[in-house]
C-alpha cells in the first residue's frame, strides 16, 4: 500500500464530506453525514446548503417544512439535523445512554417520572389539538398543567421528551422555532 499525498487526501476528504462534490438536495447532504450539528441553527443551515448544488438556507428550510430532514436532540444530547428516516434508529441507539447520564440533573431539577408523565400528557394534548407550538407556548402548556418551568426545568423537559421520541422541532414560526409530535411530523415507517 502506497502513501497518499497530503493534497490528494485533502481533496478526497472534502469530496467525501460533500464540500467539493456537492449533493443534489439538503436531504441527500444530511443523509450522507448521518447527522449534521445544529446547535447554532443559522450555521447548520449554511453547512447543509454548502453541501448541495446551488443550495441556500431557504432550500434547507423547505426540506424541514417538507419533513425530509428533522432537527432534534441526538448525539451527546445536542441538536442535530438528520434525515427523517434516520431519526428513530439514531434515537434508539443514543438516547438510552444520554438519558441515563442525565439522572443527576433530573434530581437537581426535581424532575421525576411523574413530572415527565404529566408533561407527556400535556404536550400530547396541546400538540394534538394545535399541530405545532413555539417554545414559549410549550412552556405555557407546562405551566398551565401545574409543572414549573423555572430555571432549566422547561428546557430539560423538552430535551428529555425529544430524546424519548415524543416531540421534535417543526418549522419556524416567524423567528421562533416550533415543536411538533414526532409521530405526526414523521410517521413511523
Per-residue pLDDT tens digits for 157-179? 999 999 999 999 999 999 999 99
Report residue 47 as a C-alpha cell.
453547512
Calculate mean pLDDT across residues 1-27.
85
Angle at 171 between CA 142 and CA 45, to 5 degrees: 120
Convert the pLDDT of each residue in 124-161 to its tens digit. 999 999 999 999 999 999 999 999 999 999 999 999 99
Residue 1's pLDDT is what? 61
Q: Is the pTM of this model over 0.85?
A: yes
Q: How far apart are CA 165 and CA 134, in angstroms?
A: 18
Residue 167's pLDDT is what? 98
Q: How far apart are CA 92 and CA 165, in angstroms?
A: 9
Architecture per CATH, domain 102-189, reads as: Orthogonal Bundle (1.10)
Sequence ranges of the chain with CATH classification 1.10.10.10: 102-189
Task: Note whether 119 and 154 are within 8 A (CB).
Answer: no
The answer to whether residue 5 scores a pLDDT higher than 80 is: no
Q: How far apart are CA 183 and CA 189, in angstroms?
A: 10
Report residue 37 as a C-alpha cell.
450539528
Task: Give the C-alpha distances (Å, rounded to integers) separating 77 from 9, 100, 167, 173.
Answer: 32, 11, 14, 24
Amino acid at each position: 500500500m502506497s502513501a497518499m499525498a497530503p493534497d490528494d487526501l485533502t481533496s478526497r476528504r472534502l469530496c467525501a464530506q460533500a464540500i467539493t462534490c456537492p449533493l443534489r438536495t439538503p436531504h441527500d447532504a444530511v443523509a450522507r453525514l448521518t447527522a449534521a450539528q445544529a446547535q447554532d441553527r443559522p450555521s447548520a443551515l449554511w453547512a447543509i446548503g454548502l453541501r448541495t448544488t446551488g443550495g441556500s438556507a431557504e432550500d434547507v428550510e423547505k426540506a424541514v417544512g417538507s419533513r425530509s430532514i428533522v432537527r432534534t436532540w441526538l448525539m451527546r444530547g445536542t441538536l442535530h439535523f438528520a434525515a427523517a428516516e434516520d431519526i428513530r434508529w439514531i434515537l434508539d441507539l443514543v438516547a438510552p445512554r444520554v438519558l441515563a447520564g442525565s439522572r443527576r440533573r433530573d434530581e437537581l431539577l426535581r424532575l421525576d417520572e411523574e413530572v415527565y408523565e404529566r408533561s407527556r400528557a400535556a404536550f400530547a394534548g396541546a400538540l394534538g389539538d394545535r399541530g405545532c407550538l413555539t417554545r414559549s407556548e410549550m412552556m405555557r402548556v407546562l405551566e398551565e398543567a401545574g409543572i414549573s418551568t423555572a430555571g432549566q426545568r422547561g428546557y430539560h423537559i423538552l430535551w428529555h421528551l425529544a430524546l424519548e421520541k415524543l416531540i421534535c422541532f417543526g418549522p419556524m414560526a416567524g423567528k421562533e422555532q416550533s415543536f411538533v409530535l414526532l409521530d405526526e411530523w414523521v410517521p413511523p415507517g
